[in-house]
Amino acid sequence: MASFNDIINKEQPVLVDFYADWCGPCQTMMPILKEVKDTLGEAVSILKINIDKNQSIATRFQVRGVPTFMLYKNGKQVWRQSGLIQKNDLIQLIKTHQ
């Protein structure tokens, strides 16, 4: 299995979704993220991280609330936001970092 650093060190943007199964807004984002992936295809990778099962990485990135999204390109964080995000806003954001 690839490590987190291996995954984010891609040239294509990698959207990291920190979520929890008990989080209502996280459940709301699931179909939105699927639509974003369906729209952008290979232009983006989406990595979902369950904070309850991966507490050490959530702590490392100081994730205080879920959902928290981070966008990486070439291993560098280029954007971060917590809370719900509209599909078109996410697509536009990812396109600006391609």
The residues annotated as belonging to the active site are: 23, 26
* Structure tokens that stand for 3 in this block: 């490590």
- Taking the C-alpha atoms of residue 9 and residue 23, their distance in angstroms, rounded to an integer, is 28
Query: Are 16 and 49 contacting, i.e. CB atoms less than 8 angstroms apart?
Result: yes
